[in-house]
Chains A and B, each alone.
Chain A
Amino acid sequence: EAEVAQSPRYKITEKSQAVAFWCDPISGHATLYWYRQILGQGPELLVQFQDESVVDDSQLPKDRFSAERLKGVDSTLKIQPAELGDSAMYLCASSLGSLSYNEQFFGPGTRLTVL
């Protein structure tokens, strides 16, 4: 069964350093999402892609976060510089399309710890 892949699974960094996370969605999935999940809370959308285009980045802290999906397949989320408050699980998800009932499949996540 196809799954969303993410790497790395764990990342420890010091504040002010740069970090990058990678996501490979399920083949053929046009819609890709990056979420941040703080312990004890539900996932919060950071950015949504439709193919290579950003369709929603209203909750992305653009002064330090950036995301790209250059060829409409895999995607990278970057934080520069990292801050203590960025410690969280970063989840990538993909769906076939953006119809409301298109099932969303999650990756295993990258757990970021900023020291």
Chain B
Amino acid sequence: GENVEQHPSTLSVQEGDSAVIKCTYSDSASNYFPWYKQELGKRPQLIIDIRSNVGEKKDQRIAVTLNKTAKHFSLHITETQPEDSAVYFCAARQSAPAVANTGNQFYFGTGTSLTVIP
């Protein structure tokens, strides 16, 4: 199965600085890579995603880059704000399987606890 590794496990930055979180995956069949933000006591929410046919995607202060050759993808947050403080999870998923009624699960990283210091 797929193995997703995420680093660092904790990250502290000053408000206004940038934050970078990196993930690696093992299965070249994975083709979809979402990032989730989970605030304390709340549900994970999708913040950005990227498909394998794209190398970079940006949404305001958040960007994700993907290197298929090296099997790694990264989340970049610029101009960080205190409300960016949360746990961030990366994930990887393969295409819907060719065989009916078999799964294609999301494999999650272990999370990065980001603290933005005012």
Determine if A87 is an interface residue (Cβ-Cβ < 8 Å). no
* A56 and B102 contact, Cβ closer than 8 Å, known pairs A43-B44, A101-B32, A109-B43: yes
Q: In the complex, how many angstroms separate the beta carbon of B89 from the nearest chain A beta carbon?
A: 5
Determine if A21 is an interface residue (Cβ-Cβ < 8 Å). no
Report the separation of the CA atoms of residues A104 and B45 in the bound assembly, to the nearest whole angstrom. 9
List B residues 93-107 near A (Cβ within 8 Å). 93-97, 101-106
Task: List, in ascending order, chain B residues with CB within 8 A of A103's CB.
Answer: 34, 46, 49
Report the separation of the CA atoms of residues A112 and B103 in the bound assembly, to the nearest whole angstrom. 26
Q: Is the CB of B108 within 8 A of A55?
A: no
Q: Is the CB of B49 within 8 A of A42?
A: no
- Besides A43-B44, A99-B95, 10 new A-B residue pairs in contact (Cβ under 8 A), listed by A number: A41-B110, A41-B111, A44-B108, A45-B105, A53-B101, A56-B102, A91-B43, A101-B49, A106-B36, A106-B45
- Listed by A's residue number, 24 A-B pairs whose Cβ atoms lie within 8 Å are A41-B111, A42-B4, A42-B6, A42-B108, A42-B109, A42-B111, A45-B105, A45-B106, A50-B101, A53-B101, A55-B103, A56-B105, A91-B44, A97-B96, A98-B97, A98-B104, A100-B31, A100-B96, A100-B104, A103-B34, A103-B49, A104-B34, A106-B36, A108-B42
